[in-house]
Amino acid sequence: MKVDLVIWTLNGEATITRCLDSIEKAVPASVICHRYLIDGGSVDATRDMAKRFGWTVAIARRRGIPFQANQGLDLVDTPVFASFEQDVGLNPAWFSALMPRLVSQPEVAVVQGLRAATGSRYLEAIDGYVVRHGLVPTWVYSIDNNLYRTKAVRSVGGFPEDFPMSTDGALRNNLFRKGWKWRVYNDMVSRHYRDSFVGQMRHSVLQTAVGKVLWETYPEYPASSKFGRLLATPITGARMASEAHCPGVFFGYPLLRVVKVFGRLIGSVSKRYRWIEVRSQS
């Protein structure tokens, strides 16, 4: 079965070469029909780099992940397509592991793996600990290393555009309502290029204080569980620091948690939010 590949970009020259090289190594050329890159108006060398890898480059009609994703979806003409973001380095076994799982489960609309940070020693220690100890929440998902049934995504109107920073959660909910399933496989871990710990904290603030959706994980993650996890943060940080031989994580992990909570509090009192209930799927 042939597949189309879609990636959306904006000023990604710092990571795009590594990203596209990893896709080239993970997805056999023999199964690729088209490679579409939808660029949001980069002023660096992103588009030129993509062309050297053989990607067809289009300028986005409107900047933003869901808008660029839908523009790519309009171009797709294969039963299955893949989506990526410019800061992900695929595991070499990504396609060979995930494609059979999608094809063999007709009720499944989306399959994906996890991603773990690389490039920041602190973030590597945190993500590595979570993955090694099986602490990845069952509702974790993304749209940056995914395989989709094209008809399923089109059946729900594509990538929702009304809250751009949370289009993945909205798409997932829409697919659930239509009876489709979305599978995340923790045994397939790809790289997530993160330039710095400070940069990740800034990103967390943007997600919570600037975004327009607050996530509610009731009933599988009630307030009592959230509070208990928050109280255990120093202990968890100490374990992460010990395993990674990186003492700074003892302070860094609690700081990252506090920044997320602080960003959410700011967002809660500064604007009206739409709430999306996030549930795991067996």
Question: Confidence band (pLDDT; 50, 70, 90) for 272?
Answer: low
Tokens standing for residue 250:
């003892």
Domain ranges of the chain: 3-194, 199-277
pLDDT at 23: 98
Q: Which long-range contacts (CB under 8 A, 24 or more apart) does 156-164 make?
A: 158/66, 158/69, 158/70, 158/73, 159/65, 159/66, 159/69, 159/70, 159/73, 160/66, 161/64, 161/66, 161/67, 161/70, 162/274, 163/211, 163/212, 163/213, 163/274, 164/64, 164/65, 164/66, 164/67
Of the given ranges (29-38, 151-160, 195-204, 216-225), which has the lowest mean pLDDT?
216-225
54 φ/ψ sector (left φ>0, alpha ψ -120 to 50, else beta)? left
More confident residue, 141 or 216: 141
CATH number (3.90.550.10, 3.30.1280.10, 3.50.50.60, 3.40.50.300) of 3-194 reads: 3.90.550.10
Taking alpha carbons only, the member of 202, 261, 258, 199 closest to residue 234 is: 258
- pLDDT (tens digit per residue) in 163-196: 777 899 889 989 999 999 999 999 999 999 998 8
**Cα gap 97→139, rounded to integer Å:** 21
Question: Confidence band (pLDDT; 50, 70, 90) for 22?
Answer: very high
**Cα gap 81→216, rounded to integer Å:** 30
Would you say residue 218 has pLDDT above 60? no
pLDDT at 219: 60
Tokens standing for residue 175:
């697919």
pLDDT at 229: 80
Q: What is the mean pLDDT of residues 138-162?
A: 94
Would you say residue 102 has pLDDT above 80? yes
Q: What is the mean pLDDT of residues 105-109?
A: 97
Of the given ranges (33-47, 72-86, 173-187, 204-218), which has the lowest mean pLDDT?
204-218
Question: Confidence band (pLDDT; 50, 70, 90) for 274?
Answer: low
In the chain, % of residues over pLDDT 90: 71
Question: Confidence band (pLDDT; 50, 70, 90) for 216?
Answer: low
More confident residue, 228 or 48: 48
More confident residue, 198 or 161: 161
Quick one: DSSP state of residue 43?
Answer: S
pLDDT at 214: 61
Tokens standing for residue 255:
């700081």
Per the prediction, the chain carries an average pLDDT of 90
Would you say residue 282 has pLDDT above 60? no
- pLDDT (tens digit per residue) in 190-199: 999 998 888 8
pLDDT at 124: 95
Would you say residue 201 has pLDDT above 90? no
**Cα gap 124→29, rounded to integer Å:** 31
